[in-house]
């Protein structure tokens, strides 16, 4: 693994079935206690120091917000943060609740974090425990920091106690590792994660995980006719822009990919010749989050050892200003031979993705998912609480939406199609890059991208409007959310989209 990634740490996880005892609580610094709304008396009586906890709970407000209940009368003075959950609460509600619980606990005490969920049936208990664990693993991860004084770890170990049965946490751990990688890369400053460093990090991870790695340089992409991607890259001061293809192949798996992940990797976006204003450019080092989510999803799949062949394409470049940068009204040719009239140089993401989708679909994978922080129009349509999804299989819309509801990374489907290409007609090329009018740009961008998916490959495009959300989202405590890793695993494992 690349040395910069060693800060991730390795939080120890233990679990204990059976009755919750004072002995089990003794080594725990902070305990997250989750009970159902209107918990029965016997639920309270099953807990050590029940009278203390129940009395504290009665004094707090009636809403469901997690709150400090008490400090137990033991050697560690275990801090108890408790809250009530509705039995029928959604995944998103559980994850959001868990994030708030973990934040309250770690603000007071670091060290060993306990998770105790009582009063639910075994299936509901397991689901809630996993969601609280996901929040703890997100909060306990060390994000990039360049301060002289290192930030101490808030969570060193996690103990899940009072379980009705043992819980398989491998998926929770793998999803957390994938999400943490995506957030870590996205948060890195642009002078620390330039194209050269990004490529080296990806190469190091590939070597560590046993993935096939291939870097396509600008010269190689020129031979492949990837003029849309190269138009964006031509403003760079060096020749570091590239596409990377990764391949995960379990032992004995066929060479053709069951799934292909494609990510937009614009490591800094000035807007190009159509320069962004200050506030719009401030966080544009995060415009590569789509590629980070693709990479994080591949990491999760690989760590779980899933029996599927997966390809991953990362389109990595900057979108810079300068005398060589591409301009409005340029005409370029994409890898599938279609000509594109450029309209706005800040619509660079769809240009980079267009060629990546051509190259990815030519390998005839079973399905393609691409991820991109693509349009402000999607944020305007659904806010930063949801991400938009688009597909060339309209009958999948209910399944895509259901997956988001089930995993807590919520999405909203939008239509695409030839009718929307009426807005992208060009007098000098096969199609325009975008419409100068700007309305419905998320739909136009996805309809544009669909023109570069070959062989009628089943395809889902995720416009990551929820990539950044102030204060965190669901179980993620940071503004950068890494949205999409958890969704991808749920789409593959729970919705079984690849079996269609």
- CB-based contacts of 76, cutoff 8 Å, min separation 6: 26, 27, 28, 29
- CB-based contacts of 450, cutoff 8 Å, min separation 6: 390, 392, 416, 417, 459, 461
Distance CA 185, CA 285 (A): 10
User: Are 116 and 74 spatial neighbours (Cβ–Cβ below 8 Å)?
Assistant: no
* Displacement of CA 477 from its chain's centroid (Å): 13
76 noted as active-site residue: no
Return the percent helix, strand and coil in the chain, to nearest 5: 40, 20, 40
Distance CA 342, CA 448 (A): 12
Q: Which residues pair with 67 in a beta bridge?
A: 82
Centre a 10 Å sphere on the Cβ of residue 329 and count the other Cβ atoms it contains. Answer: 10
Distance CA 286, CA 373 (A): 9
Catalytic member of 350, 410, 479, 486:
350
276 noted as active-site residue: yes
Q: Which of 401, 398, 397, 439 is nearest to 422 (CA)?
A: 439
Centre a 10 Å sphere on the Cβ of residue 124 and count the other Cβ atoms it contains. Answer: 18
Distance CA 231, CA 344 (A): 12
Q: What is the CA radius of gyration of the chain?
A: 24
> How many CA atoms lie within 13 Å of 403's alpha carbon, on the beta-carbon side?
25
* Displacement of CA 317 from its chain's centroid (Å): 20
User: Are 498 and 414 spatial neighbours (Cβ–Cβ below 8 Å)?
Assistant: no
User: Are 39 and 56 spatial neighbours (Cβ–Cβ below 8 Å)?
Assistant: no
User: Are 334 and 226 spatial neighbours (Cβ–Cβ below 8 Å)?
Assistant: yes
Distance CA 212, CA 357 (A): 19
Distance CA 486, CA 493 (A): 11
- Order of strands, edge to edge, in the sheet holding 331-333? 331-333, 339-341, 431-432
Catalytic member of 60, 215, 249, 276:
276
User: Are 266 and 349 spatial neighbours (Cβ–Cβ below 8 Å)?
Assistant: yes
- CB-based contacts of 383, cutoff 8 Å, min separation 6: 465
User: Are 442 and 374 spatial neighbours (Cβ–Cβ below 8 Å)?
Assistant: yes
* Residues tagged active-site: 276, 350
């Amino acid at each position: 693994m690349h040395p910069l990634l060693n800060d991730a740490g390795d939080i120890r996880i233990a679990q204990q079935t059976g009755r919750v005892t004072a002995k089990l609580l003794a080594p725990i610094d902070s305990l997250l206690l989750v009970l159902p709304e209107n918990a029965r008396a016997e639920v309270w009586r099953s807990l050590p120091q029940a009278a203390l906890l129940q009395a504290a709970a009665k004094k707090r407000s009636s809403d469901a917000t997690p709150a400090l209940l008490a400090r137990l009368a033991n050697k560690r003075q275990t801090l108890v943060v408790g809250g009530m959950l509705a039995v029928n609460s959604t995944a998103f509600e559980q994850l959001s609740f868990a994030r708030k619980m973990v934040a309250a606990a770690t603000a007071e005490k670091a060290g060993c974090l306990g998770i105790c969920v009582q009063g639910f049936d075994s299936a509901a208990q397991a689901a809630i425990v996993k969601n609280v664990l996901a929040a703890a693993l997100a909060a306990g991860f060390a994000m990039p920091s360049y301060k002289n004084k290192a930030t101490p770890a808030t969570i060193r170990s996690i103990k899940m106690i009072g379980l009705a049965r043992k819980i398989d946490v491998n998926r929770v751990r793998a999803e957390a590792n994938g999400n943490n990688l995506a957030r870590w890369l996205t948060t890195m400053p642009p002078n620390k994660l330039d194209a050269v460093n990004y490529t080296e990090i990806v190469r190091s991870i590939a070597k560590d995980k046993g993935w096939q790695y291939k870097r396509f340089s600008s010269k190689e992409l020129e031979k492949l006719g990837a003029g849309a991607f190269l138009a964006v890259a031509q403003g760079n001061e060096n020749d570091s822009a590239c596409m990377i293809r990764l391949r995960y192949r379990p032992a004995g798996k066929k060479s053709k990919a069951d799934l292909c992940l494609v990510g937009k990797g614009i490591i800094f976006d000035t807007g190009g010749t159509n320069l962004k204003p200050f506030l719009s450019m401030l966080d544009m080092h995060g415009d590569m989050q789509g590629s980070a989510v693709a990479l994080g999803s591949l990491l999760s799949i690989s760590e779980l050892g899933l029996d599927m062949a997966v390809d991953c394409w990362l389109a990595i470049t900057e979108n810079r200003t300068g005398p060589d940068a591409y301009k409005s009204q340029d005409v370029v040719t994409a890898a599938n031979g279609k000509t594109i009239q450029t309209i706005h140089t800040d619509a660079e993401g769809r240009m980079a993705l267009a060629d990546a989708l051509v190259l990815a679909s030519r390998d005839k994978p079973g399905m393609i998912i691409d991820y991109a922080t693509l349009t402000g129009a999607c944020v305007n349509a659904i806010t930063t609480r949801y991400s938009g999804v688009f597909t060339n299989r309209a009958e999948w819309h209910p399944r895509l939406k259901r997956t988001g509801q089930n995993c807590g990374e919520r999405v909203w489907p939008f239509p695409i199609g030839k009718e929307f290409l009426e807005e992208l007609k060009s007098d000098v090329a096969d199609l325009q890059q975008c419409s100068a009018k700007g309305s419905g740009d998320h739909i136009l961008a996805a309809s544009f991208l669909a023109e570069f998916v070959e062989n009628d490959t089943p395809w889902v495009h995720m416009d990551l409007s929820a990539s950044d959300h102030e204060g965190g989202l669901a179980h993620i405590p940071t503004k950068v959310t890494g949205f999409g890793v958890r969704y991808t695993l749920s789409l593959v494992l729970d919705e079984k989209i690849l079996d269609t």
